[in-house]
Amino acid sequence: MSRLPNFHAAKWDEPVVMEMGRPGGRGQVFPAPESEVTNSVGNDLIPSAMARKDRPELPEITEFEAQRHYLHLSQMTLGMMGVSLFGTCTMKYNSKTSEYATCAPSLPRFTPTSIPTRCRACSASFTTSIASFDPCRAWTSSSSRPEAALMPLTR
């Protein structure tokens, strides 16, 4: 076997996010309430006793800076798979099919409070998993949460 380069992971000079940015920097913008809304209910809707006076000391960075920062941090993470140092939850492998099922096409936009009428796939799977270990559940429930028995298709 040829000699391998002694490379393990990227090492960036990445500051802590709280030290980044400048006043006015922003990565996500929300619109002001529409005029029919403010005309109807007004402004300053939080009772004064509970209205925030100070600005939270959060970083002010652009979307690009956030993306680069966290991309670098992910590159400074070994990302081990199929190997366990500690056992229990870290022993399981989350197949990419399971990730696909939990993230697409509809599950992320899905709330459990609509069960059972709107969540037929989940409730059907739940029932069968109790009765007979539905393979769908067995294959995709990769969470270590005990509640996950109710949510067979979530991570």
Partner 1 sequence: MSSEPRPTQSRSHPWMALSAPGVIDEMLAEIGAPSVEALFEQIPADHYRKTPLDLPPALTSEMELKRDLVTRLKKNESCEDNLSFLGAGVWQHHVPAIVDEIVGRTEFATNVWGSYQSDHGRNQTWFEFSSQLGALLNLDVVQLPVYSWGCASGHAIRMAAKITRRKKVLVPQLSDPERLSVIRTYCQPQEMESAIEVVLVSADPTSGRLDLNDLKAKLGSDVAAVYFENPAYLGTIETGAAEVAKLARAAGAETIVGVDPISLGVMTAPGDYGADIVTGPVQPLGVHMHCGGGAGGFIASRDEEAYVRSYNGFLVSIAQTLEEGQHAFGLACPHQNSYGMREDGNDWTGNSTYLWAIAGSVYMSLLGPDGFAEVGRLIVSQARYAAKLLGEVPGVRIVWPDTQFKEFVVNFDDTGKTVAEINDSLRANGIFGGKDISGEGLGVGQSALYCVTEVHTAADIQRLADTMKEVLS
Interface residues for partner 1 in 79-98 (CB under 8 A)? 79-86, 89-90, 92-95, 97
To the nearest whole angstrom, how small is the minimum distance from the Cβ of residue 123 to partner 1? 10
101 contacts: CB under 8 Å, gap ≥ 6: 107, 140, 153
Interface mask toward partner 1 for 7-46; x: CB under 8 A? --x----x-xxx-xx---xxxxxxxxxx-xxx-xx-x-xx
To the nearest whole angstrom, how small is the minimum distance from the Cβ of residue 5 to partner 1? 18
Backbone angles phi, psi at 26, to 5 degrees: -155, 140
Alpha-carbon distance of 68 to 17, in angstroms, equals: 11
Alpha-carbon distance of 143 to 154, in angstroms, equals: 7
To the nearest whole angstrom, how small is the minimum distance from the Cβ of residue 68 to partner 1? 10
Residues 61-80 that bind partner 1 (CB under 8 A): 61, 63, 66-67, 69-80
Of 118, 114, 117, 125, the C-alpha closest to 151 is: 125
Examine residue 116 and tell whether it contacts partner 1 (CB under 8 A): no
